[in-house]
Structure 1
Amino acid sequence: MKQDNKGHNTGYLTLANGQVFAGTLHGALQDAYGEVVFHTGMTGYQEVMTDPSFAGQIVTFTYPLIGNYGINEWDYEALAPALKGMVVSELCEAPSHYRSSSSLGQIAEHFGFPILAGVDTRSITKLVRTHGTIYGIIADRPLSVEEVAAYQEGHEQTRKTLVASVSPQKMETYPGQGEHVVLVDLGAKRSILQSLLESGCKVTVVPFNTTYAQIQALSPDGIVFSNGPGDPADLLPYCAEWRKAAESYPTLGICLGHQLVALMFNGKTEKLSYGHRGSNHPVKDLITGKVYMTSQNHGYVVKEESIDKRVLAVTYRNVNDKSVEGLRHLHLPIMSVQFHPEAHPGPDDTSHIFHQFIQEMRTVGAKHYA
Structure 2
Amino acid sequence: MSDAYLALEDGSVVEARCRAPGRTRGELVFTTAYTGYEESLTDPSYEEQVLTFSYPLIGNYGVREERFESDRVHPRAAVAREFTDDVAEWLESEGVPAVDHLDTRDLVTGIRDEGAMKCGIAAGPDATPEAAKEELGLCKGMSEHTDIGARVSIAERETHNPEGDGPHVALIDCGAKGSIVSSLVERHAVVEILPYDATPAEVREIDPDVLFVSNGPGDPENFVAAKELVEEFSGDLPLAGICLGQQVVASALGGGTEKMEFGHRGVNQPVRDLRSGQVVMTTQNHGYTVSDPGPLEVTQINVNDDTPEGLESDDLGVITRQYHPEANPGPHDSLSFFDDVLAMSEAGERTSPSP
2:39 aligned partner = 47
Q: State whether structure 2 residue 347 is matched by structure 1 residue 363.
A: yes
Distance 1:241 1:190 in 2: 22
Q: Is the 8 A contact 1:18 1:145 kept in 2?
A: no
1:344 aligned partner = 328
Which of the numbers 199, 216, 229 marks the counterpart of 1:228? 216
The unaligned stretches of length 5 or more in structure 2 are none
Deviations along 1:175-208, whole A, 9 cap, x unmatched? 2221111110000000000000111111100001
What's the Cα RMSD here?
1.8
Q: TM-score, normalised by structure 2?
A: 0.93
**1:335 and 1:366, CA in 2 relative to 1: closer, same or farther beyond 3 A?**
closer
How far has the Cα of 1:367 moved from its partner? 8.3
Q: TM-score, normalised by structure 1?
A: 0.89
2:96 aligned partner = 113
Q: SS state of the match for residue 139, structure 2?
A: helix
| Residue pairs, 1:274-353, within 5 angstroms | 274-303=262-291, 306-308=292-294, 311-353=295-337
Distance 1:71 1:259 in 2: 32
Q: State whether structure 2 residue 65 is matched by structure 1 residue 73.
A: yes
1:133 aligned partner = 116
Q: What is the number of equivalent residue pairs in this alignment?
A: 346
Which of the numbers 264, 267, 272 marks the counterpart of 2:255? 267
Q: Is the 8 A contact 2:77 2:96 kept in 1?
A: yes
Which of the numbers 132, 148, 151 marks the counterpart of 1:162? 148
Q: Is the 8 A contact 1:313 1:330 kept in 2?
A: no
2:76 aligned partner = 84
Q: SS state of the match for residue 152, structure 1?
A: coil
Tell me which stretches of 4 or more aligned residues in structure 1 moved more than 4 Å. Answer: 365-368
What amino acid is aligned across from residue 154 of structure 2 in structure 1?
A: P
Distance 2:306 2:103 in 1: 30
Which of the numbers 105, 129, 137 marks the counterpart of 1:142? 129
Task: Report the more deviating stretch, 214-223 or 184-193.
Answer: 214-223
Distance 1:85 1:360 in 2: 40
How far has the Cα of 1:266 moved from its partner? 1.2
1:96 aligned partner = none
The unaligned stretches of length 5 or more in structure 1 are 4-9, 94-102
Identity %: 38
Deviations along 1:92-139, whole A, 9 cap, x unmatched? 22xxxxxxxxx1111101111011111100100011111112000110
Q: Is the 8 A contact 1:271 1:299 kept in 2?
A: yes
Q: SS state of the match for residue 281, structure 2?
A: strand
**1:126 and 1:361, CA in 2 relative to 1: closer, same or farther beyond 3 A?**
same
Q: SS state of the match for residue 83, structure 1?
A: coil
Q: Is the 8 A contact 1:223 1:246 kept in 2?
A: no
How far has the Cα of 1:238 moved from its partner? 4.6
Q: Is the 8 A contact 2:42 2:73 kept in 1?
A: yes
Q: State whether structure 2 residue 145 is matched by structure 1 residue 152.
A: no
Distance 2:135 2:192 in 1: 41
Q: Is the 8 A contact 1:221 1:365 kept in 2?
A: no
